A and B are shown apart, each in its own frame.
Chain A
Amino acid sequence: MNLIVGVGDMKVSNEAGSVLVTYSLGSCIGLAIYDPVAKVAGLLHYMLPDSSIDKEKAQRNPYMFGDTGIPSLFKAAYQYGAKKNRMRIIVVGGSQILDQTGLFNIGKRNHALLRKMFWKNNVMTHFENVGGAVNRTLKLEVETGQAWLKVSGSEVIKI
Chain B
Amino acid sequence: MNTMEEIISGIDKLTPTSCVSDKLMAVVSNPHSSSADLVELVKYDQGLTVNLLKLCNSAYVGAVRKITSIKQSVALLGMDKVVSLIMLANNAENFRNGQKGYDLSQGELWKYSVSAAIISQELAKEKGILNISMIFTAALIKDIGKVIMSTYIAESFAAIQHGVQTKGQTFLDAEKEVLGIDHAQLGAMVATKWHFAPEMIEIIQFHHEPLKSRRMDQSLCVVYVADCICMMIGQGVGADGLAYRYYQEAVDKLEVTAVDIQRIIVRFREKYDEIDALINISGG
A residues bordering B, Cβ < 8 Å? 6-8, 23-28, 47-48, 53-54, 57, 61, 64, 95-104, 106-107, 132-135, 152-153
Tell me if A97 and B232 are in contact (CB < 8 A). Answer: yes
Tell me if B235 and A97 are in contact (CB < 8 A). Answer: no
Tell me if A104 and B246 are in contact (CB < 8 A). Answer: yes
Q: Decide yes or no: A24 and B228 within 8 Å by CB, A53-B259, A99-B246 being known contacts.
A: no
Tell me if A54 and B266 are in contact (CB < 8 A). Answer: yes
Tell me if A26 and B266 are in contact (CB < 8 A). Answer: no
Q: Decide yes or no: A106 and B234 within 8 Å by CB, A8-B269, A61-B269, A152-B239 being known contacts.
A: no
Tell me if B242 and A103 are in contact (CB < 8 A). Answer: no
CB contact between B248 and one of A57, A95, A101 (< 8 Å): that residue = A101
Residue B84 interfacial (CB < 8 Å): no
Q: Across the A-B interface, give the 7 residue pairs with the lowest CB-CB distance, nearest first.
A: A26-B234, A103-B258, A27-B232, A24-B234, A100-B246, A134-B241, A133-B242
Question: Which residue of chain B lies nearest to A24 when distances are taken between CB atoms in the complex?
Answer: B234
Question: Which residue of chain B lies nearest to A53 when distances are taken between CB atoms in the complex?
Answer: B262
Tell me if A98 and B241 are in contact (CB < 8 A). Answer: no
Q: Decide yes or no: A104 and B103 within 8 Å by CB, A48-B266, A97-B245, A97-B246 being known contacts.
A: no
B-side contacts of A53, CB under 8 Å: 259, 262-263, 266
Shortest distance from the beta carbon of B279 to any chain A beta carbon, whole Å? 14
User: Could you list 15 further interchain pairs (A-B, Cβ under 8 angstroms) beyond the known A47-B233, A102-B258?
Assistant: A7-B233, A27-B233, A27-B242, A47-B265, A48-B262, A48-B266, A54-B266, A57-B270, A64-B269, A96-B246, A98-B242, A98-B246, A132-B241, A135-B234, A153-B164
Tell me if B263 and A54 are in contact (CB < 8 A). Answer: yes
> What CA separation (Å) do A97 and B270 show in the bound complex?
24
> What CA separation (Å) do A83 and B157 show in the bound complex?
44
Question: Which residue of chain B lies nearest to A102 when distances are taken between CB atoms in the complex?
Answer: B258
Tell me if B248 and A106 are in contact (CB < 8 A). Answer: no
Tell me if A133 and B234 are in contact (CB < 8 A). Answer: no
B-side contacts of A23, CB under 8 Å: 235
Tell me if A28 and B242 are in contact (CB < 8 A). Answer: no
Residue B237 interfacial (CB < 8 Å): yes
> What CA separation (Å) do A106 and B264 show in the bound complex?
13
Residue B251 interfacial (CB < 8 Å): yes
A-side contacts of B248, CB under 8 Å: 101, 104
> What CA separation (Å) do A155 and B262 show in the bound complex?
32
A-side contacts of B258, CB under 8 Å: 102-104
B-side contacts of A133, CB under 8 Å: 164, 241-244
Tell me if B234 and A25 are in contact (CB < 8 A). Answer: yes
B-side contacts of A8, CB under 8 Å: 269, 272
